[in-house]
A and B are shown apart, each in its own frame.
Chain A
Amino acid sequence: MEADCTPVTIFRHPFQEGGDGSHTLLVQAAQRYSGLDPGAFGELRTGPWGKPFFPQVPGLHFSLTHSGEWWLCAFADRPLGLDLQIHRSHADPARLSRRFFHPLEDAWLARGQYRDFFDLWCAKESWVKFTGRGFFDDPADFSVVDCQGRFPVQAGLQLRLLPFAPGYSLCLCARQIGAVAWQEF
């Protein structure tokens, strides 16, 4: 069973607007993760809905995210999705939840006075990053809360909320999540 799990390595780097671009950071992290030479990666392309990939390294799966002061990239040998979100104080969770979330999710959040809003946001986004479709599908058309009020759930997948810095939410999505390792660079 353990062999079916996907070990994941998450690289994290301070994010500064105008600093090293996300592409540069991605190649640096990919080198460290894979041990490949920089030239091995070739061109970075995007799928039909914007998910980036290296055509020359088809077995390298990754998911990028940045928010607040952090840039993260998760790597694995199978598809995965990662999302980080700083808790923005000016956001109106109730309004955004009603507008963009599934009714099951909105009801679940309302019962908890929306304190889990950003966890739920990250769970949804990690799922759409896993699928590679982004929010081309309406975010209100799917739910990461089930009819019994369990969260986070998605059929056939694991959504795992990961501890991060105070004031941030972070969620990882994969078929079977194995050990999660962190690397600073």
Chain B
Amino acid sequence: MLQLIQDIVYNVTGKQGITYETDFVQDLALNSFDVMNIISAFEDHFDTTIPTREVWHLHQVKDVIDYLAHKGFTQP
């Protein structure tokens, strides 16, 4: 799953070097528009809709991995 997040973030923002502890705002300096684009890319990948209000408390990469696992999304 980490590789998928790395790929999506790179494709959307051009940012690299992401680890489990990477903080999207503090470390990558992403803003809300970047986050929306990333959400959209995840939705495309998993063919689903992710409620935006559920994602704003996901600060680090590991939070996203936990969220996706909780929702039952696994990498095909």
Cα of A17 to Cα of B56 in the assembled complex, Å:
21
B28's nearest neighbour on chain A, judged by CB, is A17
Contact bitstring A81-97, B, C-beta under 8 A = 1, else 0 = 00101001011000110
Complex-state Cα separation, A100 to B36, whole angstroms: 8
Interface size on B, residues (CB 8 A): 14
**Bound form: Cα–Cα A67–B36 in Å:** 14
List chain A residues, Cβ under 8 A from B28. 17
- Contact-residue bracket for chain A: 20 to 34
Across the interface, which residues of A come within 8 angstroms of B52, CB to CB?
100, 135, 138-139
**Cβ-based interface call for B75 (8 A):** no
Q: Is A130 an interface residue (CB 8 A)?
A: no
Task: Give Cα A137 to B53, complex, Å.
Answer: 6
A contact residues around B43 at 8 Å (CB) = 99
Q: Is the CB of A95 within 8 A of B56?
A: no
Of A15, A65, A95, A136, most B-chain CB atoms within 10 Å: A136
Tell me if B40 is interfacial: C-beta within 8 Å of chain A. Answer: yes
CB contact list, A24-41 vs B, under 8 A: none
- Closest B-chain residue to A88, C-beta based? B33
Is A85's CB under 8 angstroms from B31's CB?
yes
Check A96 against B40 for contact (C-beta < 8 Å): yes
Query: How would residues 11 to 39 of chain B score, 1 for a CB under 8 Å from any chain A CB and 0 otherwise?
Result: 01000000000000000110111001100
Q: State whether the Cβ of B76 lies closer than 8 Å to any Cβ in chain A.
A: no
Q: Is B72 part of the contact surface with A, judged by Cβ < 8 Å?
A: no
Q: Decide if A65 touches B40 in the complex (CB within 8 Å).
A: no
Which 4 pairs show the lowest CB-CB distances between chains A and B? A136-B53, A17-B29, A135-B52, A85-B33
